[in-house]
Structure 1
Amino acid sequence: MSPSVLSPTPSPIAFPDVALPESARGLRHEVRAFLEEERALGTVLGRPDSWLAGWDPGFSRRLAERGWVGMALPVEYGGAGRGFLDRYVVIEELLAAGAPVSAHWVSDRQAGPSILRHGTEEQRRFFLPGIAAGQCFFSIGMSEKGSGSDLASVATRAERTADGWRLTGTKMWTGGAHVNDYAIVLARTDDTDDKHAGLSQFLVDLRAPGVRIEPIRLMSGEHRFNACHFEGVDVPDGMVLGRRGDGWQQVTGELAFERSGPERYLSTFPLLVSLLRELERGSATAAQLTEVGILTARLHSVRRLSLAVAASLDAGASPDIQAALVKDLGTRLEGTLVDTVRGILPTPADPHATPGSHPELLAFALLHSPGYTLRGGTNEILRGIITRGLEQH
């Protein structure tokens, strides 16, 4: 029998069964108690898509005071040093409650871990304590017009200058660029035959001369995304993230953080909570309860997969393929949840209804739904990643 049969290579879509640590139970109760206090203040409104639409820097700072921002960052850089599984419990509770977490979301989810992994010591000392304190907020500068999920085709360029780089180009769908402090920008620094080579990442001050922000509004009229124009922006050498030319490898590793978390299946969870409250007021039929049960089972299944990716990240792995699978399954479920809720209880969606009422929350979720399967990579791109991973295996 060959060695490959005796010790087969683990499948790229293998998901280990993961149990949360015992400390998670107490942590979950702490977060729920905090959320009750915030509800009394009127800051937690139970809204869908709160990690995108709920920008409240004061709330982010109060979370940080409790050690719940930058939880996976080392203590020496201002973090809590608690790892990704404890962080998972906190963000799961925040998203389920529809808490306003978008101000610190990208900083905590991927900017901090990326700077920790690829940054210089000076960059870590400068950025990470501010991120963990809920005082330094990041955006993502990846997608461009005409390239979308095909990041290797980016046209933004960084040209060498005497003491740094000059950045020119436009990034699309740059969430929060009009209110955040910095962006991690992917740009071409070298021309090569391999389009995946010659890319580098930069830490760019969004208030620097030459940065121009143009709003891209959602169907609801909300200003969440932007076209971020870099018109000859000077970036010091000390703001190159990682090694020149390693941008592709760095950004694909970063996407594992972006694609696999609870936000990829819990964006519409507050709508399910609202549905259950509506059903409690009447007499739910067996058919309605069956549909709710199916949704709950699917949520539980995707949660188990997402939790396994968090455990892999905690162990220092880069589960890119598993993360792509979680996002594909999770974001499709988010859209299905909205459609199923409409079928279970055919209440007309009304964006002008009482805030927090079922018709208003339904309208909010519907207006945000086109983005669920787009942001972070379209499902078609994700399935290509999964297929290539299986072929290589």
Structure 2
Amino acid sequence: MTADDRALAVANLVRFPDPLLPDLAEELRSEVRDFIAEEGARGTVLGRPDSWLSGWDRGFSERLAERGWVGMALPTEFGGSGAGPIARYVVIEELLAAGAPVSAHWVSDRQAGVSILTHGTEEQKRTFLPAIAAGRCFFSIGMSERESGSDLASVQTRAERIEGGWRLNGTKMWTGGAHLNDHAIVLARSSDHEDRHEGLTQFIVDLRAPGVRVEPIRLLTGEHRFNAVHLVDVVVPDNRVLGAEGDGWRQVTGELAFERSGPERFLSTLPVLTSLVRLLASVSTSQHQQSVVGRLVARLISLRAMSLGVASALQAGASPDVQAAIVKDLGTRFEGDLVEQVRAVSPVAPSRSATIGGHAELLAFALLHTPGYTLRGGTNEILRGVITKEVSAR
């Protein structure tokens, strides 16, 4: 391969498809905003940062589902709307920008439902997908472990074959919502191979099954969002194996594109910027303050175009793993940068004791969430390794 050929191959690898919005995008966006206004009037939408992690509200999820806005990527045959990833993108970016409480259904809607649709048996699809689309069945992710971090191939959770099913033993870390959700899709080692990527299998685990113990991992705010999920001789029947035995690595890597590239990777702190702009509109602002806001908005626009490009690729059936990793890396760094830069130019200091929903309190809330931005969904260092490996292979 010539140098020019290699340069072209690398350029194609990191090229983002043109974002394609549906013809009815603006009409849909308007409907979502009306819904958000209704929910705001009833006190459920509070404009919180990081709402896809910290806003668990089963009733809100059910009402959203009644509008057809949960399970939008699922076919009507299984209770979804069949609208596709791009229409879903329009809905969720409005919800995230408003700080709506979407964390109850987030993982189910973003990836668990798609994984079951892609790899599940007919019985699994009939059992779980309609309930997910109705906003009544909630999933957690069982990937990370204490000694593994983002190196998923090193998982130590074991799945042992028994009559009629499997026995799972191990601990999954940073399992969001496991104390509230119904099931987790757990990645476990079902057989040993020289290649660590072989012998991994995914299981649908009932989080209330005997042997499952959920231990809180609290944030700096004291919030209980994450957990260590201990699995001690947990029996999973054969009909709850997701996909083919030993095919877990391929399934997980395909799933990660959905997890890493969505607008939650750069919109979760947007309510803090919105709050700052509202505050600055009522006072005299400096050129520096205006410049900071302008640069943040410019980065936001670029990230949105990249993220929409990945969504377009997913809708077309592609596997944009590298592009998704780039969005996650740049997007989560932007989340933290936004909070720090807003603090630097804010006329008021962050304060946890300030009026709830006011700028000072929102800023304090976002600052205390900052350590998690570049960790969840795979650390940025690991993602840069993924990108480098793929580029080097060209």
Q: Where on the TM-score scale, by shorter chain, does this alignment land: which range?
A: over 0.9
Write the letter of the residue equivalent to 2:58.
P
Aligned pair 1:241/2:217, yes or no?
no
Distance in 2 (alpha carbons) for counterparts of 1:148 and 1:27: 39
SS in 1 for 2:13: coil
The runs of at least 4 consecutive aligned structure 1 residues that moved more than 3 Å come to none
Distance in 2 (alpha carbons) for counterparts of 1:239 and 1:16: 36
- Alignment RMSD (CA, Å): 1.5
Write the letter of the residue equivalent to 1:336.
D
Deviation (angstroms), 1:379: 0.6
Aligned pair 1:370/2:371, yes or no?
yes
SS in 1 for 2:12: coil
Partner of 2:102: 101
> Could you give the per-residue CA deviations for residues 133-186 of structure 1, whole angstroms, max 9, x where no partner exists?
000000000000011000000000000001100000000000000000000000
Distance in 2 (alpha carbons) for counterparts of 1:252 and 1:140: 13
SS in 1 for 2:281: helix
Distance in 2 (alpha carbons) for counterparts of 1:168 and 1:228: 10
Unaligned segments of structure 1, at least 5 residues: none
Distance in 2 (alpha carbons) for counterparts of 1:389 and 1:58: 43
Aligned pair 1:150/2:143, yes or no?
no
TM-score, normalised with respect to structure 1? 0.98
Partner of 1:382: 383
Write the letter of the residue equivalent to 1:313.
L
SS in 2 for 1:281: coil
Partner of 2:356: 355
* 1:1-393 correspondence runs (5 A): 9=9, 11-393=12-394
Deviation (angstroms), 1:19: 3.0
Write the letter of the residue equivalent to 1:42.
G
> Could you give the per-residue CA deviations for residues 324-358 of structure 1, whole angstroms, max 9, x where no partner exists?
00000000000000011011115221111111001
TM-score, normalised with respect to structure 2? 0.97
Deviation (angstroms), 1:283: 1.4
SS in 2 for 1:11: helix
Deviation (angstroms), 1:317: 1.2
> Could you give the per-residue CA deviations for residues 92-136 of structure 1, whole angstroms, max 9, x where no partner exists?
000000000000000000000000001111110110000000000
Write the letter of the residue equivalent to 1:311.
S
Unaligned segments of structure 2, at least 5 residues: none
> Could you give the per-residue CA deviations for residues 35-91 of structure 1, whole angstroms, max 9, x where no partner exists?
000110010000000000000000000000000000010000000000000000000
Distance in 1 (alpha carbons) for counterparts of 2:20 and 2:195: 42
Distance in 2 (alpha carbons) for counterparts of 1:162 and 1:109: 33
Write the letter of the residue equivalent to 1:329.
L
Write the letter of the residue equivalent to 2:266.
Y
SS in 2 for 1:159: strand
Distance in 1 (alpha carbons) for counterparts of 2:188 and 2:21: 38
Distance in 2 (alpha carbons) for counterparts of 1:19 and 1:210: 46
Write the letter of the residue equivalent to 2:264.
E
SS in 2 for 1:375: coil
SS in 2 for 1:166: strand
SS in 2 for 1:231: strand
SS in 1 for 2:246: coil
